[in-house]
Structure 1
Amino acid sequence: MNDQLLSARDLKVSFDLPGGRQAQAVAGVNLDIAPGEIVALAGESGCGKSTLARTMLALEDATDGSITFGGKSLPKSTKKLRAFRKQVQLVLQDPTGALNPRHTVYDAVAEGLRIHGIEGSNEYDQVISALSQAGLRPPEQYLNRYPYELSGGQRQRVVIAGALALDPQLIIADEPVASLDASVRGEILALFQRLRDDFGLGALVVTHDLGLAWNIADRIAVMYLGRIVEQGPVEQVLLDPQHPYTRALVSVLPDSPVGDPQVLTGEAPDASQIPSGCRFHPRCPLVASGKAAEAGIEEKCRTQDLAVLDADPRNWQSACHYSAQFGRDEVRGTAEPVADSLG
């Protein structure tokens, strides 16, 4: 769609392994992020979500497919990529590791400005403005502090301020609150929402926490073994998930709208050994319970691969043979959505 800011089309990322094997970290993904939109990319550890995010930031090379920013393909030259990365900033999980312990807060926030050649007479004002936008007020009190003098939440705000100093259009945040205390997480999530509402800043938030996605995102894309298996508006997907994997993830949340917890058996398969057919079928409760066999689609689940979901943000989509054949009511079963279950 022409109004999308950052887009991936048929994206694939593979890594060579010993013995001539290949790991398919991203095995075909279509994803869009619109201006001023927060998209959550959710899934278990090892599903490929961080690799996808890094590839969309041009920190990893795509094996196949394309990435566009503002409708234009990402440039190849380092100079032009620098201009792109000024517009799309990365916020890492560990603020302590992201900050140089020998740099003051002022130097940490000004670092991006200097790298991009924006230093000068306005540098001080830009640092002050970025710290204020990130919620460190009054900003003058923080300029000469070092990371060890700050709390975890304050350090994360400094990292975010360093990104905001460059006036980006989009932030890619990889588990932005995973290392923070529960009491601080809500403040950082509220900050992302305020940046969206007040400044039109878009974000791709990588997370394994569906509760976080519920509280912060406009849309959610659920990833499993290199593919997005369900995506759509966050309230629809999390209140009435259609893919068995999404339902299992939602089922273990407090006051889950999908009924009793569903514990998935085994680990996610190795990315170098993608199962035939639906990549989720070895762990799928519908297959394990015999429900897929009763419906006459077990063989299809085991042998027929599913098409890559398209990127249309208006669609609620699920990559599941069962839901495709029998529809929403059959997948849902007897569980009915409860409007405030995840709030």
Structure 2
Amino acid sequence: MTLLSAQALHVTYPRRHGSPPARAVDGVELGIGAGEIVALVGESGCGKTTLARALLGLEPPTGGRVVFDGEPLRYSSRALKAYRRRVQLVLQDPTGSLNPRHTVYEAVAEGLRIHGHGGDERTAVAEALSRAGLRPAERFFLRYPHELSGGQRQRVVIAGALVLQPELLVADEPVASLDASVRGEILALLLRLRADLGLSALVVTHDLGLAWNIADRVAVMYLGRIVETGDVEQVLTAPRHPYTQALLSVLPEAPGDPVVLTGEPPDPTRIPAGCRFHARCQVLASGEAERAGVADTCRNEDPEVLGGDARAQVACHWARARITA
């Protein structure tokens, strides 16, 4: 069952002086199933965080809709408050997420107080900290963020999300600011929470190694749109989109030479005609697309938007030509 989905989702930002709007999210279809971990990957500026904010209700879409548990998301204060009990955000910078003047207890209890928790607050906070791996929980109640390690601070942030007993976590680069030795512990924690609580998660990351270790499914984003999606093993061992191939080629264990993409991603106010990746595409530049008979199509025809289901899909004329050949 699909728990959360983006349906034909658009988020645009107006520009001054009559300039075209920036199309940060440009017709995304993406679904997250109950108990599923989906990794949303791509380089900086591709729209990952904007998409995550839209799924959380923090960024109202300019087109399309967000659907949670079969119901379209509504944007009244009351509806969003109820929604955020069920869908919680975990940010990448635990130091910036935590108020330095609040104790660990106050940081975790804040969500309960905002949402009017009717039960035993102390028990709920202790349980959330224990689930996040801070045991015995009472030892951490009166500590301040500066007294904790980076990994412990991230666990406090996760406990603050868990205390409301959500059904889905949106984790934006959850281990980017942590030492390598701590990253594995936090990833193992997220997997354990899925196993113990049935939690779903959308993990936003630029790190394909992280996606490999934690996700069931991966969605690769480029310039506001999903360009490849499928089971994590399938996408990361046999990528079909040239952009995914380029991202994977720079990993230390990748075979062959790294693919160095030319230039920067285009300005989202001036998305090129045809395939939005064609100006940087190594397949087009090498003549492979020409030999496959799709070079003109790449330059002039926009690939169709991928569906939001769990099928393996790719938005690339060349990759599709190879499949049908």
Tell me the TM-score range normalised by the shorter chain: over 0.9
2:79 is aligned to: 80
* 1:210-239 per-position Cα deviation (integer Å, ceiling 9, x unaligned): 000000000000000000000000000000
- C-alpha separation between the residues in 2 aligned to 1:323 and 1:133? 44
* 1:160-194 per-position Cα deviation (integer Å, ceiling 9, x unaligned): 00000000000000001111111111100111000
Question: How has the CA–CA distance of structure 1 residues 130 and 299 changed in structure 2, closer, same or farther, with 3 Å as cutoff?
Answer: same
2:128 is aligned to: 130
Q: Which runs of 4+ in 1 moved over 6 A?
A: none
- C-alpha separation between the residues in 2 aligned to 1:28 and 1:321? 18
2:7 is aligned to: 9
CA contact (8 A) 2:24 2:224 kept: yes
Matches within 5 A, 1:1-343: 3-20=1-18, 21-118=20-117, 122-256=120-254, 259-313=256-310, 315-327=311-323
| 3-state SS, counterpart of residue 156 of structure 2 | helix
| 3-state SS, counterpart of residue 308 of structure 1 | coil
* AA in 1 matched with 2:317: H
* AA in 2 matched with 1:326: R
| 3-state SS, counterpart of residue 301 of structure 1 | helix
- C-alpha separation between the residues in 2 aligned to 1:188 and 1:304? 42
The TM-score, its normalising length taken from structure 1, stands at: 0.93
Q: CA deviation at 1:76?
A: 2.5
* AA in 2 matched with 1:74: L
CA contact (8 A) 2:292 2:321 kept: no
Structure 2: segments with no counterpart, 5+ residues: none
| 3-state SS, counterpart of residue 46 of structure 1 | coil
- C-alpha separation between the residues in 2 aligned to 1:139 and 1:228? 41
* AA in 2 matched with 1:208: H
| 3-state SS, counterpart of residue 106 of structure 1 | helix
CA RMSD, Structure 1 to Structure 2 (Å): 1.1
* AA in 2 matched with 1:246: T
* 1:12-41 per-position Cα deviation (integer Å, ceiling 9, x unaligned): 000011222210000011101111111000
* 1:230-262 per-position Cα deviation (integer Å, ceiling 9, x unaligned): 0000000000000000001011112225x3211
The TM-score, its normalising length taken from structure 2, stands at: 0.98
Identity of aligned residues (%): 65
- C-alpha separation between the residues in 1 aligned to 2:15 and 2:144? 41
Q: CA deviation at 1:326?
A: 1.4
Q: CA deviation at 1:292?
A: 1.1
Question: How has the CA–CA distance of structure 1 residues 236 and 121 changed in structure 2, closer, same or farther, with 3 Å as cutoff?
Answer: closer
* AA in 1 matched with 2:77: T
Structure 1: segments with no counterpart, 5+ residues: 331-343
* 1:57-103 per-position Cα deviation (integer Å, ceiling 9, x unaligned): 11001010011110001122111110101100001111001100000
